[in-house]
Amino acid sequence: MSRDGEKLIELVNELGSRVSHLLTDMIPPAAQVHLLSAQRELITALMLIYEHRVTTAPTGRTRRAAAGARRSTQRRRTAKIPID
């Protein structure tokens, strides 16, 4: 994992711990457990998204080629359909 990823994890964990510390008096213990597990899942999802974006290699298709493929698909769809 890159150093940026580690910094991101530390930041998210620090923010989560500060918010949970502030809300400890207002939230019942059962809800705290639920929120902590939700926080863990959110952090995991964010890290997976981050790692996917950072480590994904370019597909080799350029934006222009992808746009051309979309245009040719759209032309085929706009042809008139005969109705009996």
User: Tens digit of pLDDT for each residue in 44-71?
Assistant: 888 888 888 888 766 665 666 666 665 5
- Give the residue ranges of DSSP H helices in the chain: 3-23, 29-55, 63-77
CB 35 within 8 A of CB 27: yes
Residues 6+ apart with CB under 8 A from 8: 46, 47, 50
**Residue 81, pLDDT above cutoff 80:** no
Q: What is the pTM assigned to this prediction?
A: 0.45
- Residue 17 and residue 19: Cα distance in Å, rounded? 6
Cβ-Cβ contacts under 8 Å for 16 (sequence gap 6 or more): 39, 43
